[in-house]
Amino acid sequence: MSNRASMIVDKDFTIGQVDDRIYGSFIEHLGRAVYGGIYEPGHPTADGNGFRLDVLEAVRQLNVPIIRYPGGNFVSGYNWEDGVGPREERKRKLELAWWTTETNAIGTNEFADWAKLAGSEVMMAVNLGTRGVDAARNLVEYCNHPSGSYWSDLRVSHGYKEPYAFKTWCLGNEMDGPWQIGAKTAVEYGRLANETAKAMRWVDPGLELVACGSSGSSMNTFAEWEATVLDLCYDNVDFLSLHTYYNNNKEDTASFLASSLDMDYFIDSVAAICDYIQAKKKSKKKIYLSMDEWNVWKTQGTSRAEQRWQVGPPEFEDVYNLEDALVVGCCLISLLKHADRVKMACLAQLVNVIAPISTENGGPLWLQTTYFPYLHASLYGRGTVLHPMISSPKYDAKDFTDVPYLEAVSVYNEELQEVTVFAVNRHLTEGLDLTVDLRSFGKISVLEHLVLENEDLKAANTKDNPHNVRPHSRGNAIQDNGQIRALLAKASWNVIRLKIS
């Protein structure tokens, strides 16, 4: 027995063009993301700069357009000047966000070198916790001004003649969170963000600036924070950030798999607040959304006291299973469904810390289950998102009602003349008989049907069993009288790639 679901996609019913930056990620000076992750001198694969080439290769495969750096909570206590100039002169400092020791062996220039090798842009973040306008505008001058001024000449003297032209900058991080070094009220932050934005843009008018939204929709100040902050800095910022992490903490898989409904709701709510302020200000300008931290996060709350003052201790090294990959897949679909509003997003994070890529110091690298939906969406989810007209049976779970078993969206790549359908079957015990009606596309054929599935929902990839959960291309999608038919396996992630001829 299987359930039936259908989907109609029409090339004229578009949601919007995908901004490739929704496939961004994040590297913070936290745990073994930097030290032991991207950088490990002495590792057998390390290049002359100490960058692990196995990690670089896994990142390159993902085709990550933009990577947020250097934090996260870390940035709120960071003096960027500590991380530039001759390495032997760099100061070791106590790092108060995660209670570790920061050696400053990696700083802005090294990270920019690494990002270039990875084929990614850098999304910079400035410290609005312990610092403010002055440090931020100096950093913009250091990074983006060609030469002929103190900070730009300093960069040149450090061996980096060409300015970086970093375009996208975050104005602090999670400034509403009591855990943040230098946390602020909405009014304090909104004013500071506005003044910092002005000065940064006076140094480089080409910047795109992201103001901090709430650390999550469960914050007591959520919504009020967004409205107050935007009211104070609307004219000088372009994006508002959203952060969200999902956790199967109740061991309730049916609810957990519905997490992306929360993401949909979160995005819609923040968009509504932005539009409210736009209306209030009678402004022609629209604020776009940057979901610059999102993921499944299971080890939240790990005691940082245990790691006190170590260098690059293992932190938040979540082991992701099939369920987690399905939630990541559903969240990617949610981001695509909001392509008209969400223009940037960062899977938090990229290596070792709540990450799709895991490494062992001195040892191998392996890919977590969540790597694969991220890879597929990044490779095949570029183009125009089409409205998914879906009809699907639904279920009720503890935390959500009316959850469609089918979560799906399609993306039309006009240049390649391809349509890709991304689909998750949330049903835990039954297949889903899917029909996709592509009436406006004419002749179509199936290029490939990729599937991520496993009999065991808790199956994961580990160092000793790195190939346990891998996608295969034996999906059963067929072209049938102008429609696509596929039986989606229970609890599976599916990528149906179609060619238009």
Give the separation between CA 456 and CA 300, rounded to whole angstroms: 24
Which string of x and - marks every residue 154-183 that binds ligand AHR (by CB under 6 A)? Answer: -------------------xx---------
The closest alpha carbon to 371, from 67, 123, 58, belongs to: 58
CB closer to ligand AHR, 72 vs 329: 72
**Which residues 6+ apart lie within 8 Å of 354 measured at CB?**
245, 295, 296, 297, 299, 316, 318, 348
CB closer to ligand AHR, 30 vs 488: 30
121 is catalytic: no
Interface residues for ligand AHR in 40-99 (CB under 6 A)? Answer: 71-73
Give the separation between CA 292 and CA 338, rounded to whole angstroms: 14
Closest CB 300 distance from ligand AHR, rounded Å = 8
CB 132: neighbour CB atoms within 10 A?
A: 17
CB closer to ligand AHR, 204 vs 292: 292
Three-class SS state of 100: strand
Closest CB 304 distance from ligand AHR, rounded Å = 11
Among 19, 20, 28, 453, binds ligand AHR (CB under 6 A): 28
Exactly one of 95, 174, 315, 453 is catalytic; which is it?
A: 174
410 touches 386 (CB < 8 A)? yes
CB closer to ligand AHR, 30 vs 345: 30
360 is catalytic: no
| 293 contributes a contact to ligand AHR by CB under 6 A | yes
Interface residues for ligand AHR in 210-229 (CB under 6 A)? Answer: 215
The closest alpha carbon to 315, from 36, 25, 43, belongs to: 36
CA 410: distance to chain centroid? 20
Interface residues for ligand AHR in 330-369 (CB under 6 A)? Answer: 348-349
Three-class SS state of 359: strand
336 touches 381 (CB < 8 A)? yes
CB closer to ligand AHR, 75 vs 451: 75
Exactly one of 28, 95, 293, 323 is catalytic; which is it?
A: 293
The closest alpha carbon to 273, from 224, 320, 312, belongs to: 224
| 296 contributes a contact to ligand AHR by CB under 6 A | no
90 touches 82 (CB < 8 A)? yes
Closest CB 129 distance from ligand AHR, rounded Å = 11
Instruction: Show which residues are catalytic.
Output: 174, 293
Binding site for ligand AHR (CB under 6 A): 28, 30, 71-73, 173-174, 215, 293, 348-349
